[in-house]
Amino acid sequence: MKMILAVLATISAAFLMLPANSNAQTPPKAPTFTIAGHSGEAQLLQVDGKSYVEIETLALLTQGTLSFKTNRTILTLPPSEAGAPEPTPQVKQGFSTAFIQAGIEEMSLIREWRIAIVNAVQNNNPVSEDWVSAHHRLADKNLSLASSATSTDDDRSAFPLLTAEFNNMQKLSELYLTLRKQASAISPDNFDISLEDQILSCARGFVSMTENHEFQDQASCH
């Protein structure tokens, strides 16, 4: 009886030791190889202290293709996204709301400036040089705002028309001030009415163009 109990105790001890011995004998997990930006992994083969990867597995990881020519093996990789041509930026058509607002405001300032000069000539109602200078600065400032508001191709095409209108109004204003210094009253015959007509025509053409929301060159502005 004592012999049977001793045998059973030995067998039980052996079974208890099996898991520990089994874990101790489990080989370590083989090292793997991965490529940044690609899913999947490949097992590294260790030979003479160097690491190798099967080329078939490497082709799968990189989504490449293998080809064979005589004694050559060629791995062709797909084109990278960085090398892909960038999409052509979409051209913005029409006028932007900000540019139209600034442009109309500029034309309104020039209109007020022009009317004051024309009335001064026709009705001998003098306009002071200080008033002209103040209006010049105001129109020049608003022209800069219109320049900052350009964001479409039509905006950029139309801005030179605003600049030309401002320059023509400046010429008309300087002509008036020059004649005013020479005489207390200015005869309309000595005043360049054609320049005033050009300024008026340019303003009308610019407003009509913005209402159509499409750039059309205005010959009167040049």
Q: State the pLDDT at residue 14.
A: 45
Highest mean pLDDT among 113-127, 188-202, 203-217: 203-217
Q: State the pLDDT at residue 22.
A: 47
Inform me whether the pLDDT recorded for 62 exceeds 50. Answer: yes
- Percent of the chain at pLDDT > 70 equals 74
Q: Domain coordinates of the chain in residue numbers?
A: 30-67, 97-216
Read off the pLDDT of each residue in 193-219 and give the average, rounded to a whole number. Answer: 91
**Average predicted confidence (pLDDT) for the chain:** 79
Inform me whether the pLDDT recorded for 67 exceeds 80. Answer: no
Residue among 132, 107, 117 nearest 201 (CA)? 107
Inform me whether the pLDDT recorded for 7 exceeds 60. Answer: no
Inform me whether the pLDDT recorded for 33 exceeds 90. Answer: no
Read off the pLDDT of each residue in 3-20 and give the average, rounded to a whole number. Answer: 45
Q: Which two tokens stand for residue 191?
A: 């005043």
CATH class as words, domain 97-216: mainly alpha
More confident residue, 8 or 56: 56
Q: What is the pTM of this model?
A: 0.58
Lowest mean pLDDT among 125-129, 138-142, 170-174, 213-217: 125-129
Quote the distance between the C-alpha of residue 214 and its chain's center.
22
Long-range contacts, stretch 153-158, CB < 8 angstroms, 24+ apart: 153/91, 153/92, 153/93, 153/215, 154/93, 154/94, 154/95, 154/214, 154/215, 155/95, 155/96, 155/99, 157/215, 157/217, 158/95, 158/99, 158/103, 158/206, 158/209, 158/210, 158/215
Q: State the pLDDT at residue 159.
A: 96
